[in-house]
Amino acid sequence: MQLAVAAFLAGVLGGVHCMGMCGGIVGSLAAASRGNAIARHLAFNAGRIASYSAAGAAMGAAGALITMAGPVQAAQIALFVIANALMLGLGLYIAGWGRAVVRLEGLGAALWRRIEPLRRAVFPVDSTAKALGAGAAWGWVPCGLVYGMLPLAAASGGPAQGALVMMAFGLGTLPHLLFAGFAAQRVLAFRSKPWVRRVAGLLIVTLALVGFARVPGLPEALRAGWACIG
């Protein structure tokens, strides 16, 4: 549950990035001529969050296998350290102080090449069913923000927990994308202000540092290591 809360907060704070990346498509949902725009937005985000949850379940299962394959505590510590290191990089990226996390997007390029034709099949997004399909496809777009959260899912302990972590993250991003869809220009202008991104990034960095402090056995191991060095 703690990881899900951290993922939700990261989604809320990292949503300033989501508005820039997804603002165009969510704006088009409101502009489509047929059907209910609110229903299209909700369907799009439901599809997007469902894809996040599926990815989280897969990562949670992989993390559980890693834990079973070796010393449990060592594997858990490694997963938590990786997760919080990526969250730290994510915060620095959103604040405008580093782009290491963006390099992760290349990892999903091969998968996206297979899914991207499905995205084209549902355009123009002029119905609720198409919006659901577009959201499900869009959930697999290579995104450093999403990839920064997946290690949290891997560290969660299992597929159900991993799905919960990524669903919580998706729900955290939801308000930003809904606002961007109905007030795109004003919201995107606010999001582009440097101080907004820096505050959001620093808060995510703080979440990462708190996460490091909560990694089982890590603070004690570091203190012991420093004592040995001294």
What is the residue-wise DSSP string for 143-184? -HHHHHHHHHHHTTSSHHHHHHHHHHHHHHHHHHHHHHHHSH
CA distance 188 to 4: 27
Q: How confident is the model at residue 192 (pLDDT cuts 50, 70, 90)?
A: low
Domain count, the chain: 1
| Helix, strand, coil percentages for the chain (3-state, nearest 5) | 85, 0, 15
Looking at residue 221, its pLDDT comes to 60
* pLDDT value at 25 more than 90: no
pLDDT tens by residue, 165-191: 999 999 999 888 887 766 655 555 666
Predicted confidence (pLDDT) per residue in 102-132, tens digit: 777 777 777 777 777 776 777 777 788 888 9
Cα 187 to Cα 170: distance, rounded to the nearest angstrom: 19
Distance between CA atoms of 168 and 174, rounded to whole angstroms? 10
For residue 81, the enclosing domain spans 2-229
